[in-house]
Structure 1
Amino acid sequence: MKFTFKTLFVIFFTFYGIYGFSQVKNEQIDSILNNTVKSDGPGAIIFIKQKGKVLYQKAFGKANIENKVDMSTKNAFNIGSVSKEFTAMSVLQLLEKGKLSLEDNVNSYLPNYSKNGDKIKIKHLLSHTSGLKSHTDTIWANTDARKYFDSSKDVLNYFKNDIVQFEAGENHEYCNMNFNLLAYIIEKASGMEYTDYVNENIFRPLGMTNSYIPSEGQLIPNLATGYELKNNEIVYARYHSINQTRGSSSIHTTVEDLSKWYEGLMNSKVISRENLIKAWTPFTLNNGEKSTYGYGFYSDRKFNKTSIFHNGFIFGYSTSDMYFPEDDLLILVVSNISDINVINTNTIIFDIASSIYKSEIPKLTTVLLDTYVGTYLIEKGFKVKIFRKGLVLFNEFDGQSAVELAAETKTKFRVKDFPAKVEFYQSSEDGRMRIILSNGREKYEGIKE
């Protein structure tokens, strides 16, 4: 079944799927976390809920290493880019109130912000298809991330960079500036500060009493201490100015409040189901192809199921959420370290989903996988190495770390913690094995050497 607008429409207006999760075993999930999270190191929280029932909720590791404070399920975290979900839904709320249109362009809110500002529309910001270049890179993280600004407009003007990578709607390129702009547009359209708008229209109505968009230096109750990896040592996370990341990041919350967020979405307490379906449907590019991102959410197929997900990595914290609307199943993983070499919340959440949907994973053999193993010359001039460990395939690009592949079918695999895919097929012309690498609209083909 293909992932389409119609598919989601049917999902929302029929009963939830009857998939049962009695086979979710605590010891299976415990094992995944115990193999990843050290008892005396940065921690993680796992939260799984289906149809109003919490199936699993447990904390691992330390909320504060120095004082040996154990992680608790009540701890709060900066959820980083998962905040984009809230910004996107705030925009759609204002759409429903008649305060703005998704066809409005950037220049109508911030004149002359970009030479393409009359072509870049709100829908392009929501879907990361604006073509704007992001300012959040390594240099920013080590320098300008500390700067304080008085307003959202000041942030935008300071980081104004009119390098347009492509015409609006031509491609999907993740860019935090898109959502910094959306926060400013929310302020202009609503007449309220972004923080006040989200508090009054999302947090309070949903009972998210442990959720904050903090002001500079504000203390967050039960906040886990954030850590990073530096020179192979775990250290306190670098300071960054919260007011720079409003719209794109900066929300602090708990797993319990995040579960209230998804309940509110599914119960139409945030926006209408019609607009939620649009937000959860992959955006259509100018050429008619689908990206992997809707409005504030990634949308894809996993384990033969519709999956809605996002992740957030910011100084000292990482978050991954994954929701399967057909089964009303929510999985949350949060951690107080932002380095994936220590704790990778994306990998953990995928492993948990795999253990739940194990019946949907195709049966593989070493004989089959060995036909895929080898080095492939890609048409763009680079090489990809495919190798296996047991019944698991890995791919390795030139000079980069190997990444694990998860099987969707016997010929199609996905990068375990990223929405990219690998497909194998045997040429009918010469019998040689070929490979297709894809990420959204980008596709590269190659042949085994």
Structure 2
Amino acid sequence: MRPLFNADAPGAAVLVAKNGKTMFRQGYGLADLATHQPIDPGMAFRLGSITKQFTAAAILLLVEQGKLNVRDDFREHLPGFPDKGTSITIEHLLTHTSGIPCFTGFGEYEANMATDMTVEGMLATFQDLPLEFTPGERFEYCNSGYFLLGAIIEAVSEMSYAAYLANNIFTPLGMLHTAYEGHQRNPVTQVRGYSHDEENFVTADTLSMSQPYAAGALVSTVDDLARWDQAISSCQLLPEASWRKAFTAYTLNDGSSTGYGYGWDVGDLHGSPKLEHDGGINGFATHAMRLPGHGLFIAVLTNSDSGIVDAKEIANDIAAIATR
């Protein structure tokens, strides 16, 4: 790890756990270039799309509480969303197979990403657009689907997304430093995020976290992510069947596999199951990987979205070493 990060540049927090025991935990590089504060592995980072697995778990909790079903047409819970002439299920949203256009791909997204938005205001940016394909026809990674899942969580639970996750996931599991950014419950240093231009690292562009919302707005630490892995391994929060469903790749209408479950990429490493997800958001690139056959969990959280080694590449290299 050490040669991958310069001591005077953005870096990473890295954790490797085996069967619930932390085997490796280290920080590299700087948390703040202006003050030269080094990264400590106990610091918090933006997770980006690793957020999606928590949103998916919240949906499954509501299923267990009898408040919805993943087979429901999502408009049963968000009746204000325009009818598209075909059923779009909650499962389609979970698996990126809905056909709804992705708002982060719109040309005007970057120009407006610093603007605070309401949930309704964000929905208005894509809800009237036609579907890009028939639901279930193909896999197309889509932040709009997970934004909608956050709105469903709020509508069904009658709580804010931030509060529902805090009360039903983070607090019960002792994840004290995981939260929707701006709604942190306990003080912890959050590292600054950077981008790399042609020559230097610069402060990342401002992003209102009201926009990534349930698709990417959580912050956490490597220690809390290890707690999350242990909760999954011991079937806390949800029964084994629900976790198994989250880790099962969705099958398209034509019978082919998407390689994606509910908020997780589903694959293998040398024939052993591999469950993972990366995250890319202003100032940060992240990766979390579970190798349940080896009892391994790997988290790599970096505080630059460019100019350093890819977090997923690092996690895969660590996995190769840890499974020798």
The answer to whether the 8 A contact 2:95-2:263 is kept is yes
Compute the displacement of 1:138 (Å): 7.2
Give 1:129's match in structure 2, choosing from 57, 82, 97. 97
The answer to whether the 8 A contact 1:216-1:242 is kept is no
Counterpart code for 1:44: A
Find the counterpart in structure 2 of residue 265 from structure 1: 232
Tell me if 1:68 matches 2:36. yes
Output the CA distance in 1 between the equivalents of 2:120 and 2:67: 19
Counterparts in 2 of 1:118 and 1:248: CA distance versus 1, 3 Å: same
Find the counterpart in structure 1 of residue 170 from structure 2: 203
Residues 163-178 of structure 1 aligned to structure 2 (within 5 Å): 163-178=130-145
Compute the displacement of 1:116 (Å): 2.6
Counterpart code for 1:49: A
Tell me if 1:96 matches 2:96. no
The answer to whether the 8 A contact 1:106-1:121 is kept is yes
Bigger RCO of structures 1 and 2 (CA < 8 A, at least 6 apart)? 2
Counterpart code for 2:238: I
Find the counterpart in structure 2 of residue 355 from structure 1: 321
Output the CA distance in 2 between the equivalents of 1:315 and 1:173: 22
Tell me if 1:143 matches 2:111. yes
Counterparts in 2 of 1:232 and 1:109: CA distance versus 1, 3 Å: farther
The answer to whether the 8 A contact 1:76-1:221 is kept is yes
Output the CA distance in 1 between the equivalents of 2:238 and 2:260: 18
Output the CA distance in 2 between the equivalents of 1:272 and 1:115: 34
Find the counterpart in structure 2 of residue 223 from structure 1: 190
Q: Which runs of 5+ in 2 are unaligned?
A: none
In terms of Rg, which structure is larger? Answer: 1
Compute the displacement of 1:141 (Å): 4.8
User: Does the residue aligned with 2:257 lie in a helix, a strand or coil?
Assistant: coil
User: Does the residue aligned with 1:143 lie in a helix, a strand or coil?
Assistant: helix
Output the CA distance in 1 between the equivalents of 2:110 and 2:104: 10
Give 1:43's match in structure 2, choosing from 3, 8, 11. 11
Compute the displacement of 1:338 (Å): 0.9
Counterpart code for 1:131: G
Find the counterpart in structure 2 of residue 27 from structure 1: none
Q: Which runs of 5+ in 1 are unaligned?
A: 1-32, 359-449
Residues 11-410 of structure 1 aligned to structure 2 (within 5 Å): 33-111=1-79, 113-116=81-84, 118-137=86-105, 139-149=107-117, 151-215=118-182, 221-339=188-306, 341-358=307-324
Q: Using the aligned pairs only, state the percent identity.
A: 30
Question: What whole-Å deviation, never above 9, does each CA across 1:88-111 have from its counterpart, x for those lacking one?
Answer: 000000001100011111322333
Counterparts in 2 of 1:342 and 1:57: CA distance versus 1, 3 Å: same
Compute the displacement of 1:219 (Å): 10
Counterpart code for 2:287: S
Output the CA distance in 2 between the equivalents of 1:60 and 1:140: 35
| Superposed CA RMSD | 1.9
User: Does the residue aligned with 1:178 lie in a helix, a strand or coil?
Assistant: helix
Q: How many residues end up aligned between the 2 structures?
A: 324
Compute the displacement of 1:159 (Å): 3.7
User: Does the residue aligned with 1:146 lie in a helix, a strand or coil?
Assistant: coil
Counterpart code for 1:67: T
User: Does the residue aligned with 1:158 lie in a helix, a strand or coil?
Assistant: coil
Question: What whole-Å deviation, never above 9, does each CA across 1:187-210 have from its counterpart, x for those lacking one?
Answer: 111111111100000010000111
The answer to whether the 8 A contact 2:103-2:125 is kept is no
Structure-2-length-normalised TM-score: 0.95
The answer to whether the 8 A contact 2:27-2:41 is kept is yes
Higher strand share: 1
Output the CA distance in 2 between the equivalents of 1:37 and 1:161: 45
Question: What whole-Å deviation, never above 9, does each CA across 1:203-261 have from its counterpart, x for those lacking one?
Answer: 10000111121338999631011001223321001111111111101111100011111
